[in-house]
Chains A and B, each alone.
Chain A
Amino acid sequence: MSPDVHTLVGAYALDALDEREQADFEQHLQSCTTCSAELVEFQATAARLGEAASMAPPAGLRESVLAAASRTPQQRPVVTVVPISRWRRYGTTLVAAAAVIAAVSLGVLYVGEQNRNDELQTQGPVSRVKNAPDVEVLASGPGKAPVRVYYSRSLDQAVVMVDDLPTIDKKHSYEMWAIDAEGPKSLGAMPEATESGTKLVSDLGQATQVAVTMEPAGGSPTGKPTGPPVEAVDLT
C-alpha cells in the first residue's frame, strides 16, 4: 500500500473524493485491512459530527417514511453457505459467491450501490415530480435562469427551484407567489438572507405565473407582495 493511497482514508470517510477516486479507493480497500480498520473508526467519528447536527425533522416525515416502508420489500440477507459440491462444480459460482462475501464483509463501505428500480421505488416527492413523464420545465428567462418550475400536470404538483437570486441581507426574505385570475397567493417565504432553495408545491390550481418578490424577513406581513416581482415564470 502506498502511503499516498492511505492518506485517502480520511477524505473517503468524509465523502470528499470524486467518483473515480472513490471507486479506486474502494478497490484498494478490499486488500487493505489497515485501511478498513481505520475507516471504521473514521466513519464512527464522522457519525459523531453528524449527530451533533441533529435537528427535529418535519412532522409529516414520520408517517410518510413508515407508510413507504410498509409497501417497500426488503432485501434478503446474503446467504453465504454454499454446498461444497457446488463450489467445486462451478468455478464461476465460487468466484461470484466470493465476491458477494467480500462485498458484505465491507459492510459499511457499501453504501452507494443501488439499482435503478430501487432508486425509483424510494425516490422522494421532489424527484417524483422532476422525473414525471409529463414534466414541463419552465424558466424565468433563457440560460441559467434563477427560477425554474418543474410542473407535472398529471401529478398536479410542481417543484420550484430558486437558484442564486441577488444577495439579500438578514432583514429580507424572498417569497414565492402563484398568480392566478384572483391575484397572487403565497407559496411561502424562504429563510432570511437565503438566495437559493427548492419547494414542492401541490396547489398551483389555475395559476398562470409563479413570481418571486423580496419581502421583509419571514415573508410579507400583509399576505400580498409588497414590491414588484424580482423574477417570474409563465406557466402557460
Chain B
Amino acid sequence: MNAKTLQFPGPGPAEEPEESLDELLSHVARGDEEAFAQLYDRTSSAVYGLARRVVRDPARAEEVSQEVLLQVWRTASRFDRSRGSAKSWILTLTHRRAVDAVRHDQASTDRERRYDWTGGRDVDVVDDEVTLRMEHQQVRRCMGTLTTLQREAVGLAYYGGHTYAETATLLDANPATIKTRMRDGLIRLRDCLGVAS
C-alpha cells in the first residue's frame, strides 16, 4: 500500500513493471542474495539519508545503515506485510536504530545537533532523482500545513531524535501538550500525504 503511494506519475516513458519491494523482501527471506543486492540498491539512499539526518555524523550513519540493512537481511522472514509496506518496515527499523545510537552516544556526543527538517542541501540522490525530489517537495508542503508547534514537535522528535520530554524542554512547552501535538501532527501529515491502510 505505502510502497504504491511512493510512486509518482513521472513525465518520462512508462518503466518496466518492477518487482515490488514487498516481493523482493520475500525473496530475501529465502536467502536470495541477488534479491538482497536489489533491495540494497532501492533502499540504501533512504536508509543512509535518514540515519545521517538523525545521527549527523557520517561514519556513525554508515555504521547504523550497515546494522539496519543486515538486520533486514537476518529478519526478513519476520516481516509482516499486513502491518505496513516493506519500505515502511525498513525505515521504521532505521529510525529506531538511529535514535538508539544517538541516545547511546549521548554522553559522548554533542546533543545540540542542528535542527533542519527541510535539509535541502543534504539531499543528494543518485537514482530516481525526480521521484525523490517530488517526494521531498510533497513532504515539505505537507509539513507546511502543520501548526508551528506540531511541525517543531514532529521535526525535533523524528529528525532530531529527541524524546517528547526533551522536545518539550526545547520548545518550552508542556510535555502533555507536545505528546498531543505529535499525534495530531502525524494525523494531519498522514492525511496530507494520502497514507491509508
A-to-B contact residues, CB < 8 Å:
6-11, 13-18, 36-37, 40-58, 61-62, 64-66, 68-70, 72-78, 104-112, 114, 118, 121-127, 148, 161, 163-164, 195-200
Contact = CB atoms under 8 A, between A and B. Distances in A.
Contact of A65 (B70, B85, B132, B197): B70
B189 to A, nearest CB: 5
B190 A68 contact: no
Interface residues of B, number: 97
Interface string B152-178: 001001110111110100000000101
B110 A7 contact: no
Given A41-B196, A48-B193, A57-B62, A14 B77 contact: no
B67 A124 contact: yes
Contacts, number: 275
A195 B125 CA distance: 26
B161 A15 contact: yes
Given A18-B165, A52-B140, A55-B125, A107 B83 contact: yes
Contact of A54 (B60, B132, B190): B132
A42 B119 CA distance: 22
A196 B109 contact: yes
A11 B157 contact: yes
Contact of A196 (B53, B57, B85, B157): B57
Contacts of B37: 62, 66
B164 A11 contact: yes
B182 A14 contact: yes
Q: Which 5 A-B pairs have the closest CB atoms?
A: A10-B183, A107-B80, A124-B63, A107-B83, A55-B49
Nearest to A165: B110
A197 B176 CA distance: 33
Main secondary structure on chain B at its contact with chain A?
Answer: helix
15 contacts: A8-B183, A10-B182, A14-B154, A45-B190, A47-B2, A48-B189, A51-B139, A52-B136, A55-B48, A107-B79, A107-B84, A124-B62, A163-B109, A163-B110, A199-B59
Given A108-B80, A112-B96, A51 B190 contact: no
Contact of A66 (B33, B126, B178): B33
Given A46-B158, A56-B124, A122 B74 contact: yes
Nearest to B98: A15
Interface in B83-142: 83-85, 87-89, 91-97, 99-100, 108-110, 119, 122-126, 132, 135-136, 139-140
A195 B49 CA distance: 21
A10 B186 contact: yes
A62 B119 contact: no
Nearest to A191: B58
